[in-house]
Amino acid sequence: MVFIRIPKPWQIESQPITSETAYWHRRRFLKNMAAFGIGATVFPSMSCSRSGNESGSELSQTIPTRTFPDIERSAIYSGEGLTVTPEAKASRYNNFYEFGGTKNIWQAAQALPTDNWKVEVTGLVNHPQTYDLDDLIKQFPLEERIYRFRCVEAWAMVVPWLGFPMRSLIKAVEPQSKAKFVRFTSFYDPKVCPGPGGWTDTSQLPWPYTESLRIEEMAHDLAFFAVGIYGHLLPKQHGAPLRMVMPWKYGFKGAKSIVKIEFMNFQPSTFWNTLVPDEYGFEANVDPNIPHPRWTQAEERLLGTGIHPSVWHRQPTLLYNGYSEVASLY
Ligand SMILES: Nc1nc2c(c(=O)[nH]1)N[C@H]1C(S)=C(S)[C@@H](COP(=O)(O)O)O[C@H]1N2
Ligand SMILES: [Mo]
């Protein structure tokens, strides 16, 4: 018998953009420097994200060793036609304000204590539960889904998540009919989380990081909990051991390192919406036609496709980030 190992798409080196495109981007580079000189405020981290000590091997030390070779790829969310972002790019360009205000927090995030992690599911449910990571992995059948991901800052990526649909958890805890919203709370300990730094007084921020969904949004098949990415458990910089993935919403709606999930009868306040309500709405569906007050949302840049975000490959933003099946929710 012959065994042929078929590499998963994300194990194949992502295709380089065509030289025409690269040339085009080089041509546009100077122009962009003007237009996206403003971009320096949109992407403040990039100037300092290539410090000398970021060797690949140090990065690999942040990658958990537990892999899931037998997990089935979702037939529906198989990433057809998409080029998966290389892991080395996605796992060192992160937003995780608890550990810093730049994209370069992957080392600082290693301070997150993930041993004996507990997730409390509580509020208006018939079966409140506290899960540890092994409980989650045993109780909810895992699958791999390749999703597009879109940050409100107009960068995008394509990543293979490992996890389970949120509706599996809904089924397990049985929300009561009074439950209309769900609040997700991230880990926070001021002794471990220095905050964004810079000019920000971290003690004035509305910690812990929280996010919320309407229960119908949570029940949509696309709404996902990830315990892993690229075939292994989540590294800390991606929000280990459990994070939300809401592919039709801007990335900030996906809280990382979740410790609490509460079913409630009112819309709770959330981190970004509390801080800057006119920039980070509650619904936050990806929409090319609704500009952010400080930049357009009509285009996005694909993470890691060039030496600097100003030359990353650009593509049009899609309504609901391309997941038009959620339209009936709105
Ligand atoms: N707890 C917490 N969750 C968070 C954030 C954060 O700062 N803290 N940032 C959000 C934002 S703005 C984005 S774009 C994504 C980034 O996820 P990634 O770093 O895994 O790409 O995480 C989201 N979840
Ligand atoms: Mo984001």
Nearest residue (by CA) to ligand 1, atom 19, is 94
Non-local (6+) Cβ contacts of 201 within 8 A are none
Nearest-atom index, ligand 1, CA of 153: 14
Nearest residue (by CA) to ligand 1, atom 5, is 96
Residue 130 exposed, middle or buried by CB count within 10 Å (0-12, 13-18, 19+): exposed
Least confident of 3-12, 174-183, 272-281, 292-301: 3-12
Bond before 208 cis per omega within 30 degrees: yes
pLDDT digits (tens, 9 = 90+) for 192-236: 999 999 999 999 999 999 999 999 999 999 999 999 999 999 999
CATH of segment(s) 19-47+77-329 = 3.90.420.10
Is the C-beta atom of 104 inside 6 A of ligand 1?
no
CA dist 192 and 223 (Å) reads 29
Nearest ligand to residue 292 Cα: 2
What was the pLDDT predicted at 56?
66
Is the C-beta atom of 211 inside 6 A of ligand 1?
no
pLDDT digits (tens, 9 = 90+) for 68-98: 999 989 999 999 999 999 999 999 999 999 9
Bond before 241 cis per omega within 30 degrees: yes
Is the C-beta atom of 91 inside 6 A of ligand 1?
no
Angle value at C-alpha 242, between 62 and 108, nearest 5 degrees: 35
Nearest residue (by CA) to ligand 1, atom 16, is 95
Is the C-beta atom of 254 inside 6 A of ligand 1?
yes
Whole-model pTM? Answer: 0.86
Q: Is the pLDDT of residue 189 over 70?
A: yes
Instruction: Find the mean pLDDT for residues 295-317.
Output: 96
More confident call, 5 vs 224: 224
**150 DSSP β-pair partners:** 156
What was the pLDDT predicted at 36?
38
pLDDT digits (tens, 9 = 90+) for 53-72: 456 678 999 999 999 999 98
What was the pLDDT predicted at 55?
60
Non-local (6+) Cβ contacts of 47 within 8 A are 40
Is the C-beta atom of 253 inside 6 A of ligand 1?
no
**In angstroms, what is the span from residue 207 Cα to ligand 2's centroid?**
17
**In angstroms, what is the span from residue 41 Cα to ligand 1's centroid?**
18
What was the pLDDT predicted at 57?
77
Is the C-beta atom of 98 inside 6 A of ligand 1?
yes
Is the C-beta atom of 252 inside 6 A of ligand 1?
yes
What was the pLDDT predicted at 21?
31
Q: Which residue from 323, 123, 81 is spatially nearest to 220, judged by alpha carbons?
A: 323
Instruction: Find the mean pLDDT for residues 179-199.
Output: 97
What was the pLDDT predicted at 17?
31
Is the C-beta atom of 270 inside 6 A of ligand 1?
no
Q: Which whole-number Å values give the CA distances from 272 to 217, 223, 244, in the listed order?
A: 19, 20, 16
Nearest ligand to residue 149 Cα: 1
Q: Is the pLDDT of residue 146 over 90?
A: yes
CA dist 242 and 206 (Å) reads 21
Nearest-atom index, ligand 1, CA of 250: 14
What was the pLDDT predicted at 20?
28
